[in-house]
Every structure is written in structure tokens, then in C-alpha cells.
Amino acid sequence: MRLFRQGIYALIFYPATFMFVIGCFAAGLFGSKPLRAVVHAWTDFHHALVRMLGIFTEVRGSIPSGAFLIAVKHQSMFETLEIVRIANTPVIVLKRELSQLPGFGWATRRYGVIPVDRSAGAKALREMLLLGKEAAAIGRPVIIYPEGTRVRPGETPPLQAGFAGLYKALGLPVVPVAMDSGRLWGRNLPRDAGTVHFVVGEPIPAGLKREDIEARVHAAINVLESGPQASA
């Protein structure tokens, strides 16, 4: 059943994504708003596809509108699409390689992303801060995966330094989001049917000391690591 689910997903999702990228090129001729509408249609399509495969989403809490720093637990590709549906037209911090993919990379840049070159050190941080300030200035939230990369279920690594730097520079409250997609989803493909849980925490104010904000965000994004009922 797992191989069947993965095969159906790959046969439908990746060709459809190619068509949505073409749609982004066409919509982009008329401005950023139509292009963003196509991106949102793509994430809605993905949501419907995985439901067809028996994978559902439960969201506890809601992400407020406006400029926030949204810190999300990262276990698979699943949440990178689903969080775009849950948030309000976010700008997304992602690795530079994704923003350079032919076609897809162009669409992500036009939608709004902050590409990060992990090998560039301080230069990458300066670029991330500049683009983050531009996003906050127009009232768009910024999504960051503060652990820096995908982690396996049960893993709770310390947050990467870039998160605290962005938090301090933007001066925005943080909305932490825990989720547990890794139970059902591999690196890029679904494994099992079931429900992926998202828990949106209460906003954490701006201006805290680094050790305080890191401790509060770390705790909030890991509330599901003892199981989906841990936050109930």
C-alpha cells in the first residue's frame, strides 16, 4: 500500500506542479497578485491530493494576519506546502538551491522567498536580514525553519543562529508552529495514511534576550514530540 500511495502521489503531483509553474509564468505577466493566486491554488491542490491518499491535516490555533516571524518545526516536504495554506501570503526562508531551480525557482522568487546560501556565513545572514525587513515593511509574515534543516520525529536539536539574528533584526513577535508530519511522510514522499497535526502557539513578543526567545520557541515547536496529544 505504501508503494501504491507513493506512486500515485508522484505520478500526479510532479506533472501537476510543472503545469502550475507554467501557470505562474502566464499569471506573472499580469503582476504579483495573480501569480500568488496560482501558488495558493497549487498548495490547495496538494492538500486535496494528499486527502485523497488518506492524509489529513488538523490545525489547532490560528496564525494571525500581519507581520510576524513564523517559526515552524521541519520534518518533511509536507509542511513546506501546508504552512503556505495556513499562513497569510508568507515570505519563506529557504535554501538558495531551491530558488535557483529552472522554472520553479523563478516562481518562488516572484512569490516571495528569502534564499539562504548556507555556505556564505555572515554574508548570507546579512542578505536574509535585508530581505526579511523588506517583507515585514509591507506586512507579510516571514516563515523560518529555525532548526535549519529537516529532522526526524523525536529529534529536538538546538535552533540555528540565523533565527535569533532574524528575530532581533526584524523586531517582530514570533508565532511558533509545532507539527508531526514525519510520522506519515518521508523526505519527499508519503509513507502512511493518517493525520498530520499542527499546533500554532501563542505569539511570543519581540525584544526578548536570545536565550529566552530560543528557549521559548524550542519548547513551543517541540510540543508534539511526545505524541500528537502532548499539547492537549
On the question of pLDDT at 128 being above 90, the answer is: no
CA distances to 6, 47, 53, 128, 229 from 42, rounded to whole Å, are 19, 9, 17, 26, 30
Please tell me the predicted confidence (pLDDT) of residue 81: 95
Does residue 118 fall inside a structural domain?
yes
On the question of pLDDT at 229 being above 60, the answer is: no
Does residue 122 fall inside a structural domain?
yes
On the question of pLDDT at 119 being above 70, the answer is: no
Does residue 134 fall inside a structural domain?
yes
Does residue 226 fall inside a structural domain?
no
Please tell me the predicted confidence (pLDDT) of residue 130: 83
Average pLDDT, stretch 185-212? 94
On the question of pLDDT at 228 being above 70, the answer is: no
Specify the number of domains making up the chain: 1
Which is more confidently placed, 4 or 38? 38
Cell 501537476 sits on residue: 16
Quick: pLDDT tens for 95-109. Answer: 888 888 888 989 998
Please tell me the predicted confidence (pLDDT) of residue 114: 87
Q: Angle 161-170/210-221 helices, nearest 10 degrees?
A: 110
Does residue 104 fall inside a structural domain?
yes
Quick: pLDDT tens for 30-66. Answer: 999 999 999 999 999 999 999 999 999 999 999 998 8
CA distances to 10, 77, 177 from 132, rounded to whole Å, are 33, 22, 19
Q: Angle 32-52/78-86 helices, nearest 10 degrees?
A: 120
- State the Cα angle at 52 between 47 and 57, rounded to 5°: 45
Cell 509553474 sits on residue: 21
On the question of pLDDT at 142 being above 60, the answer is: yes
Average pLDDT, stretch 116-120? 69
Cell 510520522 sits on residue: 183
Range(s) of the domain holding residue 159? 56-221
Q: Rounded CA gap, 128 and 30, in Å?
A: 28
Largest CA distance in the chain: 49
Average pLDDT, stretch 144-154? 92
Does residue 125 fall inside a structural domain?
yes
Instruction: DSSP letter for 204, please.
Output: B
Residue 198: pLDDT band (50, 70, 90) is very high
Average pLDDT, stretch 15-20? 96
Which own/partner pairs from 221-226 qualify as long-range (CB within 8 Å, at least 24 positions apart)? 221/71, 221/72, 221/73, 221/146, 221/147, 221/176, 221/177, 221/178, 222/73, 222/156, 222/178, 223/178, 223/199, 224/73, 224/178, 224/179, 224/180, 224/197, 224/199, 225/153, 225/154, 225/156, 225/180
